[in-house]
Structures are given as structure tokens and as C-alpha cells.
């Protein structure tokens, strides 16, 4: 009989800074620390105790298993790689990669996904295993804005109530986004190197961007870098009219270090996002000098027992 256990945690070492420019030209400064250890662990402990009490008090058949839901998966497999690559360059918004999901358009990289008419905080979004909530007034920094389409390898959408195994506290649905997993050499003693460079240009809004990735790995260690950036001017609608305050610029950098021993995988990621400007046409404010940084440490292990 085989069983697996996974532990996922996150430590943020820098605050998220949001400068919102109002219509009258004034700037509202807002700094939010994305992680408060005391409150975080207190909430996690309380939710765990309540969940255990509920499971013990009621029949297990009451709980909804993830397998009971129909998952919508977008993955960079061999068969779907070409289609996913084309969708990556057609939009700089990661929400555009979602299948079976509507989106409330905001800025160039800040659409809010909608599942069965429910969105925002009613949808749980995990990026590389970490639950992320929207930030800034009017939630102009949704969770998917923190990962670039070029860095997205797999997306899974679970419509309906979030399964207990994933938190069970969102009624709209669950969105799971993963970047490319670590690569390791196939044989001992070998060193594998890999790299890629891509770029694109979109005539509407004169958007130009690119991405670069490089990795080096042995059979046990892996180190990878992924970076991307895009800049766009105000776009024009179907009638050729310019949509003011729709221009944006953003860049993302991420490094990943991983160690593998048998069925055990230890992974550390660090990333930095810088968004000098993002216009929000349907709001009374824009984003300026937006900075986000995070460190994410994960462990995944498989354990086998022989009866």
C-alpha cells in the first residue's frame, strides 16, 4: 500500500507596496505585509481544530472529495504545448489561460476570474500551493497577477465548493496554478542544461514582451531561473477608439532550487515582481510602483509500507 504526505508553507520577506493614483492626481500609499506569523498560525490552528471536530462528529460521507468534482485542467503536456504557447502570447493576463471560466476585465494583467457567477474572495486561488488573496483597493492585484503566463505550466479549475483537502472555505470554486516543476538528470553523474528564449509583439496596444528560462540539474540537485516582462500602450476597441488608462508594464523574476532524494523532494522558490504602472480603465485609480516579493518552501514526500 502506498501513501503520500505533503507539507507546504510560505514565508514572505518583503511587504507588498501599492501606490494608487486617484483621478485628482493625488497618490494613496498602501503597504500590506502579506504574511503575519502570529495571526496566520492562529487561524490555521483554529480552522484545523474546527475541521477535525466536524469530521469526528458527522459521517464521512458528508465531506466532499476532490474526486467528486469535474476538474478542468490546462497543462503544458506534449499534446497541448503548442496550443498553450499560442494562448500565452495572445494575452499577458494569466486568467486568460483558464478554460470554462469567465473573467471580469480590469487592468492588462488583473482580470478577476468568475465561476458560475461567483468570483473574487469566493474563489480560492493557490499559486504553487500557496493560497493568495487579492490586494489593493478594488482588488486590483488579484492572485493570478503574481504569476506570468510564460511561467505557468499547469492550471486546474474545480468548480463548486472547495474540497476539504484544499481548505474547504470557498463556495465559488478553486483555481490551482503551478509553475514548471524542477527538472533532474536522468542518470547519476550527468549534468543537464536547458534554456529557452521567447518574445512577442501585438499590434493592438503595441505590446512587446519576452521571456527567458535556464536550468541546470544533476540527478539530485536542480537550479532554475525564469524571467519575463511586457510593456503595452493604451489599446483600441473594435471601433478604433483608444481606451485611456489601459497601458501597463510588468516584469517577473523567479529562481527555484530543489533537492531530490528517492521519493522526497525539497523545493525553495524566490520571486520578485515589479509593476511600474498598470492602468485600470473601469476604476478611479491606477497602480504605480507596485512591488511584490516572496519566498516559498515546499516538501513533498512519498512513503511506502509493505503489509
What would the pLDDT profile of 78-88 be if each residue is shown by its tens digit? 456 667 777 77
pLDDT attached to residue 150: 87
Angle of CA points 96, 147, 270, to nearest 5°: 170
- Kindly indicate the confidence band of residue 14, based on its pLDDT and cuts at 50, 70 and 90: very low
pLDDT tens string 227-265 = 999 999 998 888 888 888 889 999 999 999 999 998 899
Nearest CA-CA partner of 212 in 185, 232, 233, 194 = 194
Which carries the bigger pLDDT value, residue 130 or residue 2? 130
SS3 86: helix
Domain that holds residue 93: 2-22+68-304
pLDDT attached to residue 3: 40
Tell me if 95 sits within 8 A of 111, measured CB to CB: yes
Nearest CA-CA partner of 12 in 303, 299, 291, 304 = 291
Distance CA 69, CA 157 (A): 10
Distance CA 242, CA 233 (A): 10
In a domain, 53, yes or no: no
Tell me if 214 sits within 8 A of 225, measured CB to CB: yes
In a domain, 293, yes or no: yes
How far from the centroid of its chain's Cα atoms is residue 246's Cα?
Answer: 22
Which carries the bigger pLDDT value, residue 180 or residue 66? 180
- Kindly indicate the confidence band of residue 226, based on its pLDDT and cuts at 50, 70 and 90: very high
Nearest CA-CA partner of 71 in 100, 32, 112 = 100
pLDDT attached to residue 153: 87
In a domain, 42, yes or no: no
Count Cβ atoms below 10 Å from residue 207 Cβ, excluding itself: 20
In a domain, 30, yes or no: no
In a domain, 35, yes or no: no
**C-alpha distances in Å from residue 253, one per residue of 43, 85, 272, 290:** 31, 19, 5, 14
SS3 253: strand
Distance CA 147, CA 155 (A): 12
- Kindly indicate the confidence band of residue 137, based on its pLDDT and cuts at 50, 70 and 90: confident
Residue 278 belongs to domain with CATH number? 2.170.130.10
What total number of domains does the chain contain? 1
In a domain, 275, yes or no: yes
In a domain, 246, yes or no: yes
In a domain, 282, yes or no: yes
Eight-state DSSP code of residue 132: -
Q: Give strand ranges (E) for the chain.
A: 2-11, 16-22, 27-32, 72-75, 102-104, 112-115, 118-119, 123-127, 130-131, 154-159, 173-178, 192-202, 207-217, 221-232, 248-261, 264-278, 285-304
Angle of CA points 256, 223, 197, to nearest 5°: 85
Phi-psi map region of 97: left, alpha, beta (phi>0 left; psi -120 to 50 alpha): alpha
pLDDT at 104 over 60: yes
Distance CA 65, CA 115 (A): 19
Nearest CA-CA partner of 251 in 116, 147, 98 = 147
pLDDT attached to residue 266: 96
Amino acid at each position: 500500500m502506498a501513501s503520500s504526505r505533503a507539507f507546504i508553507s510560505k514565508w514572505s520577506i518583503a511587504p507588498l507596496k501599492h501606490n494608487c493614483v486617484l483621478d485628482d492626481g493625488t497618490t494613496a500609499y498602501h503597504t500590506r505585509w502579506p504574511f503575519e506569523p502570529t495571526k496566520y498560525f492562529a487561524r490555521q490552528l483554529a480552522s484545523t481544530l474546527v475541521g477535525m471536530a466536524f469530521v469526528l462528529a458527522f459521517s464521512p460521507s458528508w465531506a466532499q472529495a476532490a474526486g467528486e468534482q469535474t476538474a478542468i485542467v490546462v497543462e503544458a503536456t506534449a499534446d497541448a504545448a503548442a496550443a498553450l504557447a499560442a494562448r500565452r502570447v495572445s494575452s499577458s493576463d494569466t486568467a486568460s489561460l483558464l478554460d470554462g471560466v469567465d473573467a471580469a476585465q480590469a487592468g492588462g494583467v488583473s482580470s478577476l476570474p468568475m465561476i458560475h457567477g461567483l468570483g473574487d474572495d469566493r474563489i480560492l486561488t493557490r499559486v504553487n500551493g500557496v493560497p493568495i488573496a487579492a490586494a489593493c483597493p478594488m482588488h486590483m492585484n488579484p492572485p493570478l497577477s503574481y504569476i506570468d503566463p510564460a511561467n505557468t505550466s499547469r492550471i486546474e479549475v474545480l468548480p463548486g465548493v472547495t474540497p476539504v483537502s484544499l481548505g474547504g472555505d470557498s463556495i465559488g470554486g478553486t483555481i490551482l496554478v503551478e509553475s514548471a516543476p524542477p527538472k533532474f538528470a536522468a542518470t547519476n553523474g550527468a549534468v543537464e542544461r536547458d534554456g529557452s528564449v521567447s518574445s512577442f509583439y501585438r499590434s493592438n496596444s503595441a505590446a512587446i514582451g519576452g521571456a527567458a528560462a535556464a536550468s541546470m540539474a544533476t540527478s539530485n540537485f536542480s537550479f532554475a531561473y525564469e524571467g519575463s516582462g511586457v510593456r503595452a500602450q493604451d489599446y483600441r476597441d473594435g471601433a478604433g477608439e483608444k481606451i485611456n488608462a489601459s497601458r501597463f508594464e510588468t516584469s517577473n523574476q523567479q529562481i527555484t532550487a530543489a533537492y531530490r532524494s528517492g521519493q522526497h523532494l525539497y523545493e525553495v522558490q524566490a520571486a520578485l515582481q515589479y509593476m511600474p504602472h498598470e492602468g485600470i480603465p473601469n476604476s478611479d485609480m491606477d497602480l504605480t510602483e507596485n512591488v511584490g516579493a516572496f519566498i516559498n518552501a515546499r516538501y513533498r514526500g512519498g512513503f511506502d509500507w509493505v503489509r
